[in-house]
Amino acid sequence: MKSYIKHSEWQVVEEGFVPDYNRISESLFSIGNGHTGQRANFEETYSGDSLRGNYLAGVYYPDKTRVGWWKNGYPEYFAKILNAANWIGLRIRLDEEELDLAKAKVDDFTRILDMRTALLTRRFKATLPSGKKVEVVVERFLSIADKEIGAIRYRLKSINFAGKLGLCSYIDGDIVNEDSNYDEKFWIETDKDTTPEQAFLCMETKKTSFFVCHGTETRLHLNGAKVDVARHPYNDEKFVANTFELSLVAGDELCIEKYMAVNTSLYQPKDALMGHVKAKLAQAIEEGFDQLYEAHSQKWKTRWETADIMIKGDVAAQQGIRFNIFQLMQTYSGDDERLNIGPKGFTGEKYGGVTYWDTEAYCLPFFMATAPQVVAKNLLLYRHKHLQKAIENGEKLGFNGGAALYPMVTINGEECHNEWEITFEEIHRNGAIAYAIYNYINYTGDIDYLAPYGFEVLLGISRFWAQRVNWSEGKNAYVMLGVTGPNEYENNVNNNFHTNRMAVWTMRYTLDVIDFVKKEHPYLYSELTRKWAFNEQAETDQWRDIIENMHFPYDAKRGIFLQQDGFLDKEIIPADELDPAERPIHQNWSWDRILRSCYIKQADTLQSFYWFRHEFDKESLRRHFDFYEPITVHESSLSSCIHAILAARIGREEKAYEMYLRTARLDLDDYNNDTKDGLHITSMGGTWLAFVETFGGMDVKDGRLVLNPFLPQSWEAFSFRINFRGAHLEIRMSEDLKVINHSDQSIELMVWDGVITLEGNSNIALARKSIMS
């Protein structure tokens, strides 16, 4: 855990430059706009340790799988969102001595990310080895108002230098992915063009043939006036640049403005790409930095109006939740159903930048409640578009008859994860995708999504579950063998409670969906049964038999469901008895030791208690929480949020706050010593859940919004906003609760077990009530 980031309600602030923390800061100060994003790399040369990262949504490469022992069913590749051309580069020389913070003495260094407007600012004074001193202020943003545009304003003031300044403003396409399996470069140059002030570089990905074009224009002002200086275009392989030379004296300030336009063949024909980018760049130049930034900041202001969470009296908690919300909003905009949310977003290469079950489990609720409904719907449509691929994935593993196994990792619907205990065994992911359909409909009321989209996906998943179980004569029940649950510190176990629960729940929900579609859309239902060769009687009879006769490991003495068969054969030692020097255990223990231990990486059995909360009473939850929480090490970013919510439901206010703060500041304080690899973007959806469901007590039951809020002792007040079935609500909690309806839509909701009706454009105040009991 590191605590060098300053606490601030609206900013992420780093004071002082510590090279050992540079990769962490490059992750923390990342910026993006839903279509492109970049780590907070320096514009000027930096020869120290750095992970260069510029990423474009949907542009990927199928990197050939690298495994020690090939197994039938392994995917042939791991898809990776590619590190694209570095367009921010500014190589600065003072009388041939290069400005490089790895070699200079750095003073008064600050790096600030303003979350209100997604503006990245950096300030420093640098003394070069020769004694030359300069002062630099840099501002950079990627426009959310026009997602093809980015801009840099780089101000360099000479403190004691008099002489020639050389500038090379470049686009470098000779880029590598640090996680390349075979040290391969993935880009081919297809076209380029340069003028004295502009540079354009078009690249193509190997194998997948995505085409990308970047264009930049660089403009100079000296002491506030546009300056006419010697300038030259420069071309090399996969490299284009504009070079400038001018004279400075002490006190001069040079302002470099660099504008960027980018697009890909996802949105433009490849033959028209450069022309389109040239036109877009001309538009950016005409608007100028200030006008572009104003449009960008206004768009962010609008976005924050519906998504902000306010905490009064706890700056660390406030900064944490806004940081998580900010990163979610700049990672996914929801305007393209072909795109999804990678675990690291645009902040690093780990996990390939592709889609996991995290999206459905943790991110979907945030977008359901804070964005237009189409945004969340597009996340579901992403999986529907991949249904046929999921069926093919199932066929590769020996399933048939339209059984759909959605991939653990994907970008195009094909499985691209290649660790057997995950690829073949972590099949609870199928349940998460089914649950997302229910969750979306339960929250939005958009039940017509079931016909046909939801029905088709649920049918394929239920068919998979029906084939994945087998009958055990010894247990006189159906069992599911050889699986990995959400707790990846267990592999190849039998009858993981959560996985079995997801299978039963999915088949039961699919039966309800069938009844709905048959009744409300009979003609469509007939078409769907023919399309999918659905034998309703035979298949649903089988599902009902499995539902009634599934085995769930249970310990009668403790009154708890067990994570899997044989779990109590382990030695149960609370995690707080571990030597802190051995944490996190996945960085200090052998895998053999981890597998034999009782320690849980993230909520597993408790994940079912979270999702199916209406099926378990508070006392049952208390028993399970008291057994599993002490042996959970929370070494997955997806863990603390669930434990926070469950702790609140059983009145454990201090534990709820502890878990919330951990998830909210997971990256800001580098809890798991891995922020340098990129941020935990998908877990940030869990942070939002941890806030609104822990402190807001938010739930949906029988189509009605439920609120059971409580105020932590260290807070003075909090507020949050949500959209719910046409209403836009603001919930304010202090000494009393106030609910404000900012829409015309009236709404019935339950607050502290009492039902109230809130008319459009009205508000209601209620006396505060504690959840403690």
> Looking at the annotation, which residues are catalytic?
488
93 and 166 Cβ atoms separated by less than 8 Å: yes
Say how many CA atoms lie within 13 Å of 354 toward its Cβ. 24
Element (H, E) at 368: helix 364-370
> How far, in whole angstroms, is CA 506 from its chain's centroid?
25
* Six-digit token string for 690: 């941890």
- The rounded distance, in Å, linking the Cα atoms of 250 and 212 is 42
Q: Let me know if 763 is exposed, middle or buried by CB neighbors in 10 A (0-12, 13-18, 19+).
A: middle
SS3 of residue 469 by DSSP? coil
SS3 of residue 420 by DSSP? helix
> How far, in whole angstroms, is CA 69 from its chain's centroid?
31
Token pair 């999702």: residue: 611
> How far, in whole angstroms, is CA 46 from its chain's centroid?
28
| Amino acid in the structure at residue 519 | K
Among the listed residues 340, 365, 507, the one whose alpha carbon sits nearest the alpha carbon of residue 436 = 365
365 and 371 Cβ atoms separated by less than 8 Å: no
* Phi, psi torsion values for 371, nearest 5 degrees: -130, 165
* Phi, psi torsion values for 411, nearest 5 degrees: -130, -20
56 and 148 Cβ atoms separated by less than 8 Å: no
* Six-digit token string for 100: 């490089």
- The rounded distance, in Å, linking the Cα atoms of 40 and 201 is 22
Say how many CA atoms lie within 13 Å of 733 toward its Cβ. 28
* Six-digit token string for 126: 């640098």
Among the listed residues 491, 493, 469, 464, the one whose alpha carbon sits nearest the alpha carbon of residue 396 = 464
- The rounded distance, in Å, linking the Cα atoms of 261 and 217 is 9
- The rounded distance, in Å, linking the Cα atoms of 546 and 465 is 9
> How far, in whole angstroms, is CA 582 from its chain's centroid?
28
* Six-digit token string for 640: 């603390």
* Six-digit token string for 490: 């267990």
| Amino acid in the structure at residue 563 | Q
Q: Let me know if 48 is exposed, middle or buried by CB neighbors in 10 A (0-12, 13-18, 19+).
A: middle
Name the CA radius of gyration of the chain, rounded.
27
- The rounded distance, in Å, linking the Cα atoms of 262 and 87 is 10
Helix, strand, coil fractions of the chain, as percent rounded to 5: 35, 25, 35
SS3 of residue 658 by DSSP? helix
According to DSSP, the residues that pair with 292 across neighbouring strands are none
Torsion angle of the four alpha carbons 603, 607, 608, 612, in this order, in degrees rounded to the nearest 10: 150
644 Cβ neighbours under 8 A, 6+ residues apart: 655, 656, 657, 658, 659, 660, 663, 690, 694
- The rounded distance, in Å, linking the Cα atoms of 157 and 92 is 13
